[in-house]
Amino acid sequence: SSMFVFPHKIILKTCGTTTLLLGLQRLLRIAATAGFPFCKASAAKDLRAAAIPYRVFYSRKNFLFPDKQQGPHRSWKQEVKYLDDTFEGGSAYMVGKMNGDHWYLYITSPNKTITPPLTPESDDSVSVADSTASGVRHANDETLEILMTDLDPECAKQFQLSHASAVASDWLSAEAHEARHEAVSSHGGLATPLAEVDVFDNFCDKPMDESAQDVSTEGHALGTVVSESCGLSKIYPTSVYPGARVDAFLFSPCGFSANGVIPASQPDHGEELGPMHYFTVHVTPEPGFSYASFETNVPGGQRGRTTAEIIEHVVEIFRPGRFSVTLFEAKSGANPYGRGNENPAMQRLVDSVQGYRRIDRIVHDFEDYDLVFRFYERE
């Protein structure tokens, strides 16, 4: 599971039997405490000082074992009811084949009642946002998600502790040590070389060199090894994305999670200044219900890697039997594409992925976002 905290939004992506929505009320109260506008106490709904969101997105793939889920997560219907009881103006959608690998989305409209006074520091950054009928939105807001099932057994094996330990042993041998050093150097340390992993108990925020230790937990160390060996670290290499950093963890006996942060383009590169971007990967490699997800908000094409290249790269790591690609992209104006022109999200997702047959192609045209969903099966 992963959580990304930005100044203005939070993204929480949780796996297995986690009860994500049960944390929602607490989240809204935390945001109120942090200074965001909140509604008055409501005994009926227990919304004590709950912050009013600007907008909310909730999505999930259909579950393999819904009976094992807890709280409101046993069905989409219950989740929607929970969200409808909390928010006003939400809309729920199912995307994809109802009798296949479909995907669910709940989305609220932008809350136009939130028109806060701007902080002095923020005035400049408004100029890079674009104003639409729906409110002010930051440019380049897009999210690419690839959900993969039925992973190739050989690829899935990489995310087993026993296999990763063997790889790590090889790496630590005398010959491999040099190769590893070279590989890490060539990637600028993207996946956090083992010698640079520091351990700080209780989240103390010391500079790294004050209490640096050259040992990490086994999970983090092996996560780094797997990131390098499976090719994950090469998706956004620091040679192309300077300052990128990955935090990876290999679970015992199996399973893998990784977060990456990717600094936005620099103004002197002549590109638009944007926020720090992220990507996240989660893998369940067990045969029978193997699954992997990849999600990123790094704009496609930024510094050269196109969305199609990213998809090909990710699919090659896992070689799934089936996968879906979802691109969720903010529209950039009231009539952004011009008459007869296809929207950028659709243009960015090429149809063909080598070795796969496209089964579905679905486009949703929301108020201020486009959603393009494609589903593929191995040929």
Partner 1 sequence: FSPSEGTPHLTINHDVAADLDSSNAFEGPEKLLEVWFASSPGTLPTSAGPEGLKSVDNDTWVSMLDMVHCKILSVIKSDAVDAYLLSE
Taking alpha carbons only, the member of 42, 56, 41 closest to residue 87 is 56
Catalogue the long-range contacts made by 290-294 (C-beta closer than 8 Å, 24 or more residues apart).
290/149, 290/150, 290/151, 290/156, 291/64, 291/147, 291/148, 291/149, 291/151, 292/147, 292/148, 292/151, 292/318, 292/320, 293/145, 293/146, 293/147, 293/148, 294/144, 294/145, 294/146, 294/148
253 vs 355, beta carbon nearer partner 1: 253
Shortest approach of partner 1 to residue 361 CB, angstroms? Answer: 22
Amino acid identity of residue 27, one-letter, is L
Shortest approach of partner 1 to residue 32 CB, angstroms? Answer: 9
Question: Would you say 225 and 177 are in contact if contact means Cβ atoms under 8 Å apart?
Answer: no
Shortest approach of partner 1 to residue 144 CB, angstroms? Answer: 13
Amino acid identity of residue 360, one-letter, is D
Shortest approach of partner 1 to residue 244 CB, angstroms? Answer: 8
35 vs 338, beta carbon nearer partner 1: 35
Query: Where in 196-349 does DSSP place strands (E)?
Result: 245-250, 256-262, 277-284, 291-296, 322-330
8 vs 361, beta carbon nearer partner 1: 8
Would you state the torsion angle of the CA atoms of residues 39, 44, 47, 48, taken in this order, to the nearest 10 degrees? 90
255 vs 344, beta carbon nearer partner 1: 255
6 vs 93, beta carbon nearer partner 1: 6
Shortest approach of partner 1 to residue 353 CB, angstroms? Answer: 21
Question: Would you say 147 and 374 are in contact if contact means Cβ atoms under 8 Å apart?
Answer: no
Shortest approach of partner 1 to residue 248 CB, angstroms? Answer: 8
Shortest approach of partner 1 to residue 34 CB, angstroms? Answer: 5
Dist. CA 181–CA 187, nearest whole Å: 10
Shortest approach of partner 1 to residue 297 CB, angstroms? Answer: 10
Q: Residue 233 class from Cβ within 10 Å (0-12 exposed, 13-18 middle, 19+ buried)?
A: buried
Dist. CA 175–CA 182, nearest whole Å: 11
170 vs 198, beta carbon nearer partner 1: 198
252 SS3 class: coil
6 vs 173, beta carbon nearer partner 1: 6
Question: Would you say 140 and 299 are in contact if contact means Cβ atoms under 8 Å apart?
Answer: yes
43 vs 204, beta carbon nearer partner 1: 204
